[in-house]
Amino acid sequence: MPFELAPLPYPADSLEAAIDKTTMEIHHGRHHKAYVDNLNAALVGHDQLLALPIEKLIAQIKDVPEAIRQKVINNGGGHANHTFFWNSMCPKGGGEPEGKLADAINSTFGSVANLKAKIKEAALGRFGSGWAWLVLDQGKLEITSTANQDSPLMQGKTPILGVDVWEHAYYLRYQNKRADYVEAWWNVVNWKAIGERLG
Ligand code: MN3
């Protein structure tokens, strides 16, 4: 069974508080679609790998034959990261985290404002294309970033929140101003979905 591109979980024009409709359409319908298509092309004849959930395929990347491993990292990582990203946002998002998530953020980072500052630092510190992440590592929250489509799953970490900082994610509205995009991103963050990832 090949991997499939799921539809966006909301209309493309419903995240205008941070991301414009055209960016959403191109990002999902062309960039994400290309990762899925290229992943399926790389895995032709590898039926056992095609049968895995995408997160498992990426977490077990060392089991992927070396000849196709980098293609699977780039495109399978792209598929996993973007699926995760769409589900990290929602229309009428933003506000403040609640409950267990708020407690975990406050006890680890002191405040939500400080978490946002550290995500921004990770996003701006990532030279070129990549992602800024909040992850769980050995049960502890930490901020990290990855290059290209590398996933924290490849390092045995659990992604909790991720911001795509490839230019394709923000260039139409923000041009070179990555910081403005990252600040606006919190207007559409889906804290409920992110809190559920803490388990
Ligand atoms: Mn992207």
Ligand 1 centre distance from Cα of residue 44 (Å)? 24
CATH code of the domain containing 114:
3.55.40.20
Residues 67 and 142 both lie in one domain? no
Report the side by side order of strands in the sheet with 158-164. Answer: 140-147, 130-137, 158-164
Residues 81 and 110 both lie in one domain? no
173, two tokens? 């509205």
Ligand 1 centre distance from Cα of residue 107 (Å)? 31
> Does this model's pTM top 0.85?
yes
Q: Is residue 132 part of a domain?
A: yes
Helix 33-42 vs helix 66-86: crossing angle, to nearest 10: 150
120, two tokens? 């921004």
Q: Which residues contact 10 (CB under 8 A, 6 or more apart)?
A: 89, 90, 91
Tell me the residue range of the domain where 153 lies: 99-198
Residues 62 and 121 both lie in one domain? no
CATH code of the domain containing 81:
1.10.287.990
Residues 186 and 125 both lie in one domain? yes
Ligand 1 centre distance from Cα of residue 83 (Å)? 10
Distance, CA of 99 to CA of 41 (rounded, Å): 43
Distance, CA of 161 to CA of 77 (rounded, Å): 15
Q: Is residue 15 part of a domain?
A: no
Ramachandran angles phi, psi of 87, nearest 5°: -85, 0
- How many structural domains are present in the chain? 2
Whether residue 133 contacts residue 122, with contact meaning beta carbons closer than 8 Å, is answered with yes
Classified as helix, coil or strand, 46 is coil
Ligand 1 centre distance from Cα of residue 91 (Å)? 19
What's the pLDDT at 143? 98
Whether pLDDT at 29 is above 90: yes
Which residue type occupies 97? Answer: P
Q: How does pLDDT run across 41-74, given as a tens digit for each residue? A: 999 999 999 999 999 999 999 999 999 999 999 9
